[in-house]
Amino acid sequence: MKGAQPPIWVRTPPGEPVLSGVNWGGLKTLYIKEVRRFFKVQMQTVWAPAVTTLLYLAIFTVALGSDRRVMGVRFADFIAPGLVAMAMIQNAFANSSFSLLIGKMQGNIVDYLMPPLSTGELIAGLVGAAVTRAFLVGVAVWLAMLFWPGVSVEVDHPLWAFWFGLMGALMLAFLGLITSLWADKFDHAAAVSNFLVTPLSLLSGTFYSIEQLAPAFQALSHANPFFYVISGFRYGFLGTADSPVLVGAVGLFLLNIVLWAVCYALVRSGWKIKA
């Protein structure tokens, strides 16, 4: 037809993006793909972590006594929010550290690189799915604790609980994404989990108040970002915390910005992804 314009992919110079703005359709597709991936094995990815967390609760309350008081509250009520937060952050890391790594190992990393997704959209899809898994695990643990005898998990400040849960999940999701870029095999990702994530989680004040520690160890605890996640999340439930809540909230937000920038730079450069 006279005067008809050629298709946009013909008129666009080579190397210039055809899509403008955010590719919401592609981002949604990637996010749903990642959620379906872990939800297909939900017994392993959601319910198994919930059972493990409940075992922690049972063992520590039996060993130390649920009526023992810490920071003015019963010990069982004290550790319950920390266990929920710990399960959330560990599973956020597990999810985001898997996607790109399995793609590199199986040789189908091109499935992530070829779609018309920008660097930010790729990161958003992977991290968003990891945060979703974290919150599903957290809700599963919280619901189970509602029926656990002798434990109260009423939420006094839901917005603070949500904020610190979100900041903790994002922090570990970004860390998991960096790990998946760096790792060449599952042993590498397991090393980060075993020698960094798990120790920092267990030494974050989940099972104790840092007021019980010597001054030197209190200072070390304040250098652990996991501590602020646990302390702030506990404040959302109990209204009491080991650290200034606002300092932790702002500090974790700034740390997540830094981690996002690192992820963006690494993914954009194709570090250890593109041959």
Average pLDDT, integer, range 98-111: 85
Token pair for 275: 């041959």
Q: Is residue 19 part of a domain?
A: no
Residue 61 and residue 148 in contact, taking contact as beta carbons nearer than 8 Å: no
Q: Is residue 259 part of a domain?
A: yes
Half-sphere exposure for 82 (CA within 13 Å, toward CB):
26
Return mean pLDDT, the chain.
89
**Using CA atoms, how far apart are residues 124 and 118, in angstroms rounded to an integer?**
10
Is a pLDDT exceeding 80 seen at residue 10?
no
Query: Which of 50, 131, 137 is CA-nearest to residue 95?
Result: 131
**Using CA atoms, how far apart are residues 78 and 206, in angstroms rounded to an integer?**
8
Q: Is residue 30 part of a domain?
A: no
Say what the pLDDT of residue 9 is: 47
**Using CA atoms, how far apart are residues 236 and 245, in angstroms rounded to an integer?**
10
211: DSSP letter: G
pLDDT band at residue 133 using 50, 70 and 90 as cut-offs: very high
pLDDT band at residue 111 using 50, 70 and 90 as cut-offs: confident
Residue 122 and residue 177 in contact, taking contact as beta carbons nearer than 8 Å: no
- Give the number of other Cβ atoms within 10 Å of residue 19's Cβ: 12
Q: Is residue 195 part of a domain?
A: yes
Say what the pLDDT of residue 99 is: 84
Residue 231 and residue 165 in contact, taking contact as beta carbons nearer than 8 Å: no
**Using CA atoms, how far apart are residues 228 and 210, in angstroms rounded to an integer?**
12
Q: Is residue 120 part of a domain?
A: yes
| Residue numbers of the domain that contains 224 | 44-269
Q: Which range, of 5-14, 185-194, 219-228, 260-269, averages the lowest pLDDT?
A: 5-14
8: DSSP letter: H
Number of domains in the chain: 1
Q: Is residue 49 part of a domain?
A: yes
**Using CA atoms, how far apart are residues 171 and 225, in angstroms rounded to an integer?**
9
Is a pLDDT exceeding 70 seen at residue 3?
no
237-263 confidence digits (pLDDT tens): 999 888 899 999 999 999 999 999 999
155-182 confidence digits (pLDDT tens): 999 999 999 999 999 999 999 999 999 9
| Three-state secondary-structure class, residue 176 | helix
For the entire predicted model, the pTM comes to 0.90
Residue 27 and residue 123 in contact, taking contact as beta carbons nearer than 8 Å: no
Say what the pLDDT of residue 16 is: 58
Q: How many percent of the chain have pLDDT more than 90?
A: 65
| Three-state secondary-structure class, residue 157 | coil
Residue 256 and residue 178 in contact, taking contact as beta carbons nearer than 8 Å: no
**Using CA atoms, how far apart are residues 242 and 228, in angstroms rounded to an integer?**
8
List Cβ neighbours of 115 (8 Å cut-off, separation of 6 or more). 26, 29, 30
- Give the number of other Cβ atoms within 10 Å of residue 140's Cβ: 20
- Give the number of other Cβ atoms within 10 Å of residue 46's Cβ: 18
List Cβ neighbours of 246 (8 Å cut-off, separation of 6 or more). none
Query: Which of 241, 263, 75 is CA-nearest to residue 173?
Result: 263
Query: Which of 146, 179, 168 is CA-nearest to residue 234?
Result: 168
Q: Is residue 26 part of a domain?
A: no
Q: Is residue 27 part of a domain?
A: no
Say what the pLDDT of residue 160 is: 97
